[in-house]
Amino acid sequence: MMALIDSPFSSVKLRNRPQRFLTLLGVSVEQFDAIFEKLYQAELQHQKRYHSLWRRERVERLVARNEKTLREYLCITLLYIRQYNIQEVLATSFDISQAQISKIISRTSKLLEKILPTPEKAVESLTERIKQIDSAIRRQYNATAIIDASEQRIERHQDQEQQRRDYSGKKSATPENSR
């Protein structure tokens, strides 16, 4: 069985090709590293709770020893979320079982939910901020807040003619394209 980092889809190998990294994982190398730092801290806290009878230093060594594996778990989870492949494809790509992939995705996703902003958290935060605004001002403007999803860059053909054929006109502000 190969190590997770030996896969062509490992974060170690993808890191050498930043554009491919972004395309496959949906985040840049820098964003991945920032997410990983938060994930590492969340894993450390989880392990401290799980091994509450251990000395703090022992737990820290355990988490540090598994840092590379945790990094690949994040990569696998982001690949799954971004590409939405069946787990068997990821299992084959990393030379592990589908059951292991399922456990990796499940466990890592739970940690990611704790550290990453979600639409629910954004709405709660916005609601709290709106409540802090003076009620007289809120009544005066009677505004409605709308939250829109962020856009993801779309891969386009290098061929200009193919780009024209594929273009939907959706972003254009001209009336003839809005029909």
Is 135 inside a domain boundary?
yes
Do residues 72 and 47 share a domain? yes
Angle in degrees, 0-180, between the axes of helices 67-83 and 18-25, rounded to the nearest 10: 60
Q: Does position 126 have pLDDT exceeding 80, yes or no?
A: no
Residue 103: its pLDDT value, please?
A: 95
Q: Does position 1 have pLDDT exceeding 50, yes or no?
A: no
Is 163 inside a domain boundary?
no
Mean pLDDT of 6-14: 94
Do residues 25 and 54 share a domain? yes
Residue 179: its pLDDT value, please?
A: 46
- CA separation for the pair 78, 85 (Å, rounded): 11
DSSP conformation class of 4: G
* Domain carrying residue 135: 117-149
Confidence of residue 160 (pLDDT cuts 50, 70, 90): confident
Q: Does position 170 have pLDDT exceeding 70, yes or no?
A: no
Do residues 51 and 134 share a domain? no
Do residues 40 and 95 share a domain? yes
Residue 20: its pLDDT value, please?
A: 94
Is 171 inside a domain boundary?
no
Do residues 61 and 19 share a domain? yes
- CA separation for the pair 157, 16 (Å, rounded): 23
Residue 71: its pLDDT value, please?
A: 96
Q: Domain boundary residue among 115, 135, 160?
A: 115
Is 63 inside a domain boundary?
yes
| More confidently predicted of 126 and 89 | 89
Mean pLDDT of 25-48: 94
Confidence of residue 144 (pLDDT cuts 50, 70, 90): low
pLDDT above 90: percentage of residues in the chain: 56
Is 42 inside a domain boundary?
yes
Q: Which residues contact 51 (CB under 8 A, 6 or more apart)?
A: 58, 59, 62
Lowest mean pLDDT among 1-15, 91-105, 107-121: 107-121
- CA separation for the pair 118, 96 (Å, rounded): 30
| More confidently predicted of 159 and 105 | 105
Structural domain count of the chain: 2
Average pLDDT, the chain: 83
Q: Does position 172 have pLDDT exceeding 60, yes or no?
A: no
